[in-house]
Amino acid sequence: MVALGMARRIPRLGPGPRCSASTRPPQSSFANPCRTGAPQTGRRSCRPASSFRAALQILPAASSSRATRRFDRRYRPTCAALSDSCAACRSGWPRESRPEAFRRASGAGATPHRSRCSGDVPWACAGGMDGATPHLPKHICSNLGDRMSEKNIRWGIIGTGGVAQSFARGLHSLPDAELLAVGSRSLATAQSFAQALDAPRAYGSYEELVADKDLDIVYVATPHTRHKQDCLLALEAGKAVLCEKPFASSPAELREVMAAARAHRLFCMEAMWMRFMPLYDEVRALIAQNVIGEVRMLIADNGKAVRFDDQHRMFQPPAGSCLLDRGVYALALAQGLLGEPEHVAGQLSRNSRGVDEQVGLVLRYANGALAIMGSSLTAHTSNEVRIIGTHGSIHIHAPYYNPVKATIWTRPPKAPPGQGGTVRAWGARQRLMEKIKASQPGQWMLSLVEESDWPRRKGRRSVLFRPHTGNGYHYQAGEAMRCLRAGLLESPMMPLDASLRTLEIAESLLSGNLRPT
């Protein structure tokens, strides 16, 4: 499903030879495209149609880059030929020729795609790159197999604002999700939302929505000052909850929600959508595989200047807070990649109303690694992340909360003079990369790969694309549905305690009571 480099450099452009038995990769990892007789322009041309289309979809944004122009000239002519795809899961592979990895994960292909796969590529079902943990690109596709219910999960939405609309659109890209109802403080608003976004039922109050017996789960999309009350409302009505970030205004509020969820034995999760982005699965796996060595530093910023609006929640206390609105992404990012910090330091700049408009954070970890992060409501920042290790780095391109592209640098470590360790260690690292790729051939085929020598850095650069299959909001919904089907009360990817830790750090910063955490 990923794509780190396989070829050392991009082959010469121009039409290549036709696929033949000798040039065609093994049937288990490549199947369909070569049978079309499409011109083969190097090994890459054997990738499935969906990966070409997906890569092409995101490439125009970077059309000025040399790599993009090379990609265009090399692949575009072949794309039209590679159109054989599965209508049910849009995988780009006809059922009989799905990659071996997917057939294995889904029980020898006995079940039609749709019951296993809710729209994402089938490789997602094959587990993590490390092969050991059942890792969760299955936010969408669960390989829980027979335990997975065939029934659609029916969603209700509380609130009709901007993010509720995006989420509703995201749900429509999951074939096994159903947007059943929406609740608003006003019936007219609920009806117009329902009409625009294809929800069959509309309610003029949140109480009526949660009382709908047919709902399986409620998505809370109100301002965070209401999250506690709306989550409790849903939980007490017996509904599972997916609640927008920040989960609550304070850790004390979240503890109440957690207690209710645990008392009622209902699934509950913070909708920290960034954590479920497929690219982060790959980044976590690369870090775990030690591809960039030991992580020493994480540098990230997220900021967008919001036009001042006296009435907007972002500029009104108590709802207004850069830390709670934007800073929680930074905290969740560091938490998801590096774990819990030992010490936290930070600075907030507040406006005349006492609303924090910018925040700077430094987190220190037990091994000495640092996370240095900034968030802003008043400035456009790069919205990028750099994860720097002893033997390389990972650059997650903007926007890091919804990313599709990362650049991975690996370089030979420095060895003590005269010991030749550099060469040996470098060779070992490259062999590790090859092993990672070889262990999941289907996954590595999915995305555009570009790898080249980079003499100035004496290292190697790989560009990894992991395009979305929907608008990005559906991944968190897919994870909630996977947990519901598996009978989980919390997501292992986003447990309640993780949300609580984030809020505890935020509270200590907001109250000025910085303390070791």
Is residue 244 a contact point for ligand NAP (CB under 6 A)?
A: yes
R_g (Cα) of the chain, nearest Å: 24
Q: In this chain, which of 138, 245, 275, 501 binds ligand NAP, going by CB under 6 A?
A: 245
71 vs 247 by CB, closer to ligand NAP: 247
Q: Strand ranges (DSSP E) for 313-366?
A: 343-350, 356-364
Q: What is the SS3 string spanning 115-144?
A: HHCCCCCHHHHHCCCCCCCCCCHHHCCCCC
Stretch that binds ligand NAP, among 178-186, 337-345, 429-437, 499-507 (CB under 6 A): 178-186
C-beta of 102 vs 401, nearer to ligand NAP: 401
Out of 23, 111, 189, 381, point to the residue binding ligand NAP (CB under 6 A).
189
- Residue nearer to ligand NAP on the CB measure, 19 or 190: 190
Q: Does 159 bind ligand NAP (CB under 6 A)?
A: yes
Nearest distance, CB of residue 243 and ligand NAP, angstroms: 8
Judged by CB, which is closer to ligand NAP: 99, or 327? 327
By beta-carbon proximity to ligand NAP, the closer residue of 94 and 161 is 161
Among 137, 156, 223, 251, binds ligand NAP (CB under 6 A): 223
Report which residue type is found at 479: E
Which residues fall within 8 angstroms of residue 15, CB to CB, at 6 or more apart? 39, 41, 77
264 touches ligand NAP (CB under 6 A): no
Q: Give which of 111, 110, 105 is closest to 144, Cα–Cα.
A: 105
Q: Which of 226, 284, 411, 501 binds ligand NAP (CB under 6 A)?
A: 226
Residue whose CB is less far from ligand NAP, 162 or 512: 162
Quote the least distance from Cβ 325 to ligand NAP, whole Å: 5
Q: Which of 41, 14, 39, 19 is nearest to 31 (CA)?
A: 19
Q: Is residue 187 left, alpha or beta, with left meaning phi > 0 and alpha meaning psi from -120 to 50?
A: alpha
Q: How far apart are CA 218 and CA 269, in angstroms?
A: 11
H-only helix segments in 162-250: 162-171, 187-196, 206-210, 227-236
Beta strands in 189-342 (DSSP E): 201-203, 217-220, 240-244, 268-271, 295-303
Nearest distance, CB of residue 9 and ligand NAP, angstroms: 38
Q: In degrees rounded to 5, what are phi and psi of residue 507?
A: -65, -40
Q: How many residues of this chain bind ligand NAP (CB under 6 A)?
A: 20
Name which of 39 and 161 has its Cβ closer to ligand NAP.
161
CA distance 180 to 160: 14
Pick one of 325, 356, 357, 451: the residue that binds ligand NAP (CB under 6 A).
325
Q: Does 224 bind ligand NAP (CB under 6 A)?
A: yes
- What residues contact residue 251 under an 8 Å CB cut-off, 6+ apart? 500, 503, 504, 507
Name the residue number minimizing CB distance to ligand NAP: 161
Among 25, 161, 399, 421, binds ligand NAP (CB under 6 A): 161
Token pair listed for 56: 């092409």
Helix (DSSP H) and strand (DSSP E) numbers for the chain: 17, 15
Instruction: Give the position of tokens 């995988």.
Output: 91
Asked whether position 9 contacts ligand NAP by CB under 6 A, the answer is no
CB of 278 to ligand NAP, least distance (A): 16
Report the C-alpha gap between 395 and 203 in whole angstroms.
Answer: 45
| Three-class secondary structure of residue 68 per DSSP | helix
Q: Which residues pair with 298 in a beta bridge?
A: 371, 387
320 binds ligand NAP (CB under 6 A): no
Residue 191 beta carbon to ligand NAP: minimum distance, rounded to whole angstroms: 11
> Which tokens sit at 348?
């907030």
Q: How far is the CB of 130 from ligand NAP (least distance, A)?
A: 28
- Minimum separation from the CB atom of position 380 to ligand NAP (A): 17
Q: Is residue 474 part of the contact set for ligand NAP (CB under 6 A)? A: no
Give the separation between CA 503 and CA 404, rounded to whole angstroms: 27
Q: Does 99 bind ligand NAP (CB under 6 A)?
A: no
**Options 161-169, 341-349, 445-453, 487-495: segment touching ligand NAP (CB under 6 A):** 161-169
192-221 residues near ligand NAP, rule: CB under 6 A: 221
Mark the segment that binds ligand NAP (CB under 6 A) among 96-104, 158-166, 169-177, 390-398.
158-166
Enumerate binding residues for ligand NAP (CB under 6 A). Answer: 159-164, 184-186, 189, 221-224, 226, 244-245, 273, 313, 325
